[in-house]
């Protein structure tokens, strides 16, 4: 994997991803955030340059080298909507000698959203965004939570990335999403 650190390469990557929308939308958002002020301090890695098949992001110097990320017994997740993601992941796993377990999911887009039924929320439920006070709740419910490092990571996601949640009458989030919240 190659780290793209020069702004000219990152801009070229962003332009390439834009030309392949909507398939590249998930990774384009991450690359755009990194290109424009990079508030959470991430870096971009590609499998090859300039003809890349896979794009990964990770925190600067906060993660061991990729050869240790997918160590036997370890788990990781790679994904995307564009054609060829499975093949790129398979090639990387073969090169690293790591077992790959693939699971597929499909994203469906409605061609005419205006024809869908209108859904009304319970008046006690309101649409809001996450704030720092929700960090401990996320830390407790997240499978990787439970320590100070995960708390700092979740705090940075809430602080720097867009989020949405449904709040009950007591202002507790019942359902939430963050543009960079891990599964």
DSSP string, 58-114: EETTTS--HHHHT-TT-------SSTTHHHHHHHHHHHHT-------------S-GG
φ, ψ for residue 92 (rounded to 5)? -65, -45
Structurally, the chain folds into a number of domains equal to: 2
Q: Tell whether 41 is covered by a domain.
A: yes
Confidence of residue 77 (pLDDT cuts 50, 70, 90): low
User: Same domain for 90 and 24?
Assistant: yes
Q: Residue 142, SS3?
A: coil
Q: Residue 120, SS3?
A: coil
Of the residues 55, 81, 96, which one is the last residue of a structural domain?
Answer: 96
Task: Say if residue 148's pLDDT is above 70.
Answer: yes
In the prediction, which pLDDT does 105 show?
A: 63
CATH value at residue 134? 3.40.630.30
User: Same domain for 92 and 131?
Assistant: no
User: Same domain for 12 and 78?
Assistant: yes
User: Same domain for 29 and 85?
Assistant: yes
Of the residues 74, 96, 118, which one is the last residue of a structural domain?
Answer: 96
Range of the domain at 19: 2-96
In the prediction, which pLDDT does 161 show?
A: 83
Q: Tell whether 102 is covered by a domain.
A: no
User: Same domain for 92 and 130?
Assistant: no
User: Same domain for 132 and 56?
Assistant: no
pLDDT in tens, 11-46: 999 999 988 877 787 788 888 888 887 766 788 989
Task: Say if residue 180's pLDDT is above 70.
Answer: no
User: Same domain for 22 and 73?
Assistant: yes
Specify the pTM: 0.38
User: Same domain for 8 and 73?
Assistant: yes
In the prediction, which pLDDT does 25 show?
A: 78
Average per-residue pLDDT for the chain: 78
């Amino acid at each position: 994997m190659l780290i793209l650190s020069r702004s000219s390469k990152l801009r070229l990557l962003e332009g390439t991803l834009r030309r392949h929308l909507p398939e590249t939308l998930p990774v384009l958002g991450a690359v755009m955030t990194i290109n424009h002020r990079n508030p959470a301090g991430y870096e971009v890695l590609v499998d090859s340059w300039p003809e890349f098949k896979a794009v990964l992001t990770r925190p600067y110097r906060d993660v061991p080298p990729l050869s240790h990320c997918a160590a036997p017994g370890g788990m990781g997740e790679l994904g995307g909507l564009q054609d060829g993601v499975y093949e790129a992941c398979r090639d990387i796993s073969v090169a690293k000698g790591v077992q790959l377990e693939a699971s597929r999911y499909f994203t469906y887009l409605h061609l005419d959203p205006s024809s869908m039924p209108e859904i009304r929320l319970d008046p006690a439920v309101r649409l809001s965004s996450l704030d720092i006070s929700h960090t401990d709740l996320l830390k407790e419910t997240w499978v990787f939570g439970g320590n100070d490092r995960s708390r700092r990571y979740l705090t940075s996601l809430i602080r720097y990335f867009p989020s949405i949640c449904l709040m009950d009458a007591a202002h507790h989030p019942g359902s939430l999403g963050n543009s960079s919240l891990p599964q």
